C-alpha cells in the first residue's frame, strides 16, 4: 500500500513539475510575476512590490514570496517561476483527497483528487506562473479546516482545526486580499446553516479571525509604514472599484453574467463529458447525496464562488478556480454512484465518440497542414507548425490520448475504465508543453527574441525605452531596472506618478532620435514602429518589435531582418 501511494504521488509530481521548464515565460502574466519576485531578491525589499523599480500595488507582496524563494533556490529560470504554482496545485489535490477521506470513503477522495488534477483549467493554471493556484490552496485549506472542526467529535482537537482555518484565511488574504475572508466566510456560513449548527455560526469565526489577523498584521503594518497609500489603492481600486465596474487601475475586466458558464464546462474537460452521466444517479439517490456533510460542503463552496463571481463585474477565467475542488468531489461521488448501477452503455458511447472525434481532428489537421506546407492551399493559417518543426509528436500525443479513451470504452471493469481515461488525459497533459508550436512561443514569450535582437545593441550609451506590454519583459530579460516607459504607462502609472516620472509620449521620440546617444525602443505595436523617423533598424517578431536608432552621424549596424 505504501509503495502504491508513493507511486501515485510521484506520478502527480511528474505530471505537474517535469515539463514546466521547457518553454520560456509567457507575457504578460508570467514575466510580470517573475519580475516582481526577481526585483524583491535584487533589492532586498520584501515588503513593497515593484516593477522596473516603480511601485506596483495590484497584489500584496507576500503573494510573490514563494516565487522569490523559488528563484533563490532554483535560479532565475522559467521552472523556478512556475514551481510555486505547480506545488500549490498538487497540495490542493492532497487536500481534496483528505476531503473525501473525511467522509469515510477513501475511493471518493482518490477519485476526486485525480479528477481535480487532470481538469483542463486546473492543469493550465497549475503549470502557469500566476497566483490563482496558491490562492486556491489557502482558500480550500480554510474551508476544509472549518469542515473538519465541525465534524470533529473530540472537543480538544476542534480548536486546532480552527487555528488551521485561520492560517487559510490569512494566507489567502496575503495572496489576493479581501476575497479570502469574504468568500470563505460565505461558504462556511452556508454550510453551517445547511447543517443547522446555528450556535457554531457565532462560536467558530473568532479564533480563525484572530489567527488570520496575527498572520496578516506583521506585513500589513510594515507596508503601511513604508507606503501609507497602499491600503487605499489596494482595497478601493483593486477590490471595490473592480467588483462594481470591472475596471482596476489601468485595465478593464468586465464581462457578461454568463461568462463563467462556458469557462466551467470547458475547464472541467475532459471530465465535463461525464456530467450527463452523473445527473441520473444523483437524482435517484438525492436523499443520500444531500445527507453527507462532505457533499453539502462541496455543493455550497462551488455555488458560492460561481454565483459571487458571476454577479461582480470583473471577470477572468481563473477567478473561479476554487470552484473546481467542490466540483471534483461532486463528480467523483456521481461516478461512484453510477458505477454501482452497472449500466455502462452511455459511458462507453461517450468516450468512444470522443476518441473518434480526436482521430478525426488529427486526420483533418494532418491533411490541411500537409496541403499548406506544399502550397496546395494558400491560407498560411493552416500551417501552425513551421517547416523545420515536426508534427509527428503532437499527432502521436492525440492518437495515444484517443487510444486510451477507446480502451476505456472497451474495458469491462469500472476501475479499468476510470484508469484508462485518467491515463490518457495525464499522458496528453504531460506532453502538452513539448507539443506547443514555435509560433505560440514566439508570439507570447518575448525573452528569446529580446536576447537575440536587443541585447547586442545595448551598451553603456544606449537609452532604452519600452512600451507597457514590454517593460516587465525587458527588466526580466536584461536583469535590470530603470528603463524609460514609452507612450502609455498602463499598470505602472501609479508608480510613475509617485516617483515623479513623466511618461515619454510619442511626440517626443523624434526629438530624442537625433541626439548624441543611440536609442532602443521595445514595443508590441506596428503603429509605433511606423511613427519612429529614419534612420532606424527594426527587428520584427511575431508580436514584439525592437527599434534601434543610432546616434547622430553613426551608421546603422549591419545586422537586421526578421525573427
Q: Are 304 and 186 contacting, i.e. CB atoms less than 8 angstroms apart?
A: yes
pLDDT at residue 560 in the model:
47
Q: Point out the least confidently predicted range of 193-197, 218-222, 535-539.
A: 535-539
Does the pLDDT at position 434 exceed 80? Answer: no
d(CA 363, CA 352): 17
Query: How do 463-466 and 519-523 pair as beta strands?
Result: parallel
Reduced to 3 states (helix: H, G, I; strand: E, B; else coil), residue 222 is helix
Does the pLDDT at position 461 exceed 90? Answer: no
pLDDT averaged over the chain? Answer: 82
d(CA 221, CA 33): 23
Contacts of 253 (CB under 8 A, 6+ apart): 242, 246, 247, 313, 314, 315, 316
Cell numbers found for residue 417: 475504465
Ranges of H-type helices in 44-131: 65-74, 78-102, 106-117, 120-126
pLDDT at residue 468 in the model:
80
Cβ neighbours around 364 below 10 Å, total: 11
Digit-coded pLDDT (tens) for 155-189:
888 899 999 999 999 999 999 888 889 889 999 99
pLDDT at residue 217 in the model:
93
Backbone angles phi, psi at 316, to 5 degrees: -135, 145
Does the pLDDT at position 65 exceed 90? Answer: yes
Q: Are 163 and 321 contacting, i.e. CB atoms less than 8 angstroms apart?
A: no
pLDDT at residue 250 in the model:
55
Q: Which of 115, 96, 108 is nearest to 288 (CA)?
A: 108
Cell numbers found for residue 196: 443547522
The pLDDT of 190-216, averaged and rounded, is: 88
Q: What's the pLDDT band for 501 if we cut at 50, 70, 90? A: low
The pLDDT of 320-342, averaged and rounded, is: 85
Digit-coded pLDDT (tens) for 78-90:
999 999 999 999 9
Does the pLDDT at position 382 exceed 60? Answer: no
Does the pLDDT at position 439 exceed 50? Answer: yes
Does the pLDDT at position 267 exceed 80? Answer: yes
400 CB burial (10 A radius; 0-12, 13-18, 19+):
middle
Does the pLDDT at position 390 exceed 90? Answer: no
The pLDDT of 114-118, averaged and rounded, is: 91
Amino acid at each position: 500500500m505504501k509503495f502504491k501511494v508513493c507511486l501515485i504521488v510521484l506520478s502527480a509530481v511528474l505530471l505537474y513539475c517535469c515539463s514546466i521548464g521547457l518553454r520560456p515565460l509567457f507575457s504578460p502574466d508570467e514575466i510580470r510575476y517573475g519580475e516582481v519576485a526577481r526585483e524583491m531578491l535584487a533589492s532586498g525589499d520584501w515588503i513593497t512590490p515593484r516593477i522596473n523599480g516603480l511601485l506596483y500595488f495590484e497584489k500584496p507582496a507576500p503573494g510573490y514570496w514563494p516565487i522569490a524563494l523559488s528563484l533563490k533556490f532554483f535560479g532565475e529560470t522559467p521552472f523556478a517561476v512556475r514551481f510555486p504554482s505547480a506545488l500549490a496545485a498538487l497540495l490542493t489535490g492532497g487536500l481534496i483527497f483528505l476531503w473525501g477521506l473525511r467522509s469515510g470513503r477513501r475511493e471518493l477522495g482518490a477519485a476526486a483528487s485525480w479528477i481535480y488534477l487532470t481538469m483542463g483549467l486546473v492543469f493550465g493554471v497549475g503549470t502557469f506562473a500566476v497566483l490563482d493556484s496558491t490562492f486556491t490552496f489557502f482558500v480550500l485549506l480554510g474551508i476544509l479546516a472549518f469542515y473538519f472542526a465541525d465534524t470533529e467529535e473530540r472537543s480538544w482537537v476542534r480548536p486546532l482545526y480552527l487555528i488551521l482555518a485561520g492560517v487559510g484565511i490569512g494566507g489567502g488574504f496575503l495572496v489576493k486580499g479581501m476575497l479570502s475572508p469574504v468568500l470563505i466566510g460565505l461558504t462556511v456560513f452556508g454550510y453551517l446553516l445547511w447543517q443547522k449548527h446555528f450556535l457554531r455560526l457565532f462560536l467558530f469565526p473568532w479564533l480563525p479571525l484572530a489567527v488570520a489577523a496575527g498572520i496578516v498584521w506583521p506585513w500589513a503594518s510594515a507596508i503601511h509604514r513604508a507606503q501609507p497609500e497602499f491600503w487605499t489603492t489596494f482595497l478601493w481600486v483593486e477590490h471595490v472599484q473592480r467588483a462594481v465596474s470591472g475596471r482596476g487601475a489601468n485595465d478593464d475586466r468586465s464581462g457578461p453574467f454568463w461568462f463563467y458558464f462556458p469557462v466551467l464546462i470547458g475547464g472541467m474537460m475532459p471530465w465535463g463529458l461525464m456530467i450527463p452521466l452523473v445527473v441520473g444517479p444523483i437524482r435517484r439517490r438525492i436523499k443520500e447525496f444531500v445527507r453527507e456533510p462532505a457533499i453539502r460542503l462541496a455543493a455550497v463552496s462551488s455555488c458560492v464562488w460561481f454565483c459571487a463571481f458571476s454577479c461582480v463585474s470583473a471577470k477572468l477565467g481563473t477567478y473561479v478556480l476554487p470552484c473546481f475542488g467542490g466540483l471534483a468531489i461532486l463528480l467523483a461521488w456521481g461516478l461512484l454512484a453510477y458505477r454501482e448501477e452497472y449500466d455502462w452503455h452511455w459511458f462507453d458511447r461517450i468516450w468512444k465518440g470522443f476518441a473518434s472525434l480526436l482521430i478525426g481532428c488529427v486526420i483533418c489537421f494532418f491533411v490541411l497542414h500537409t496541403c499548406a506546407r506544399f502550397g496546395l492551399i494558400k491560407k498560411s493559417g493552416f500551417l501552425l507548425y513551421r517547416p523545420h518543426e515536426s508534427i509527428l509528436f503532437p499527432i502521436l500525443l492525440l492518437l495515444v490520448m484517443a487510444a486510451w479513451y477507446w480502451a476505456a470504452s472497451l474495458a469491462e471493469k469500472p476501475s479499468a475504465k476510470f484508469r484508462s481515461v485518467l491515463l490518457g488525459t495525464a499522458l496528453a497533459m504531460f506532453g502538452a508543453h513539448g507539443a506547443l508550436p514555435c509560433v505560440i512561443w514566439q508570439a507570447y514569450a518575448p525573452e528569446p527574441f529580446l536576447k537575440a535582437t536587443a541585447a547586442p545593441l545595448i551598451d553603456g550609451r544606449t537609452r532604452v525605452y519600452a512600451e507597457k506590454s514590454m517593460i516587465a519583459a525587458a527588466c526580466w530579460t536584461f536583469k535590470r531596472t530603470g528603463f524609460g516607459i514609452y507612450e502609455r504607462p498602463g499598470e505602472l502609472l501609479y508608480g510613475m506618478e509617485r516617483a515623479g516620472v513623466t511618461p515619454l509620449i510619442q511626440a517626443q521620440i523624434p526629438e530624442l532620435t537625433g541626439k548624441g546617444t543611440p536609442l532602443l525602443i521595445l514595443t508590441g505595436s506596428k503603429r509605433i514602429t511606423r511613427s519612429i523617423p529614419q534612420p532606424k533598424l527594426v527587428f520584427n517578431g511575431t508580436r514584439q518589435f525592437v527599434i534601434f536608432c543610432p546616434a547622430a552621424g553613426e551608421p546603422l549596424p549591419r545586422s537586421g531582418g526578421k525573427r
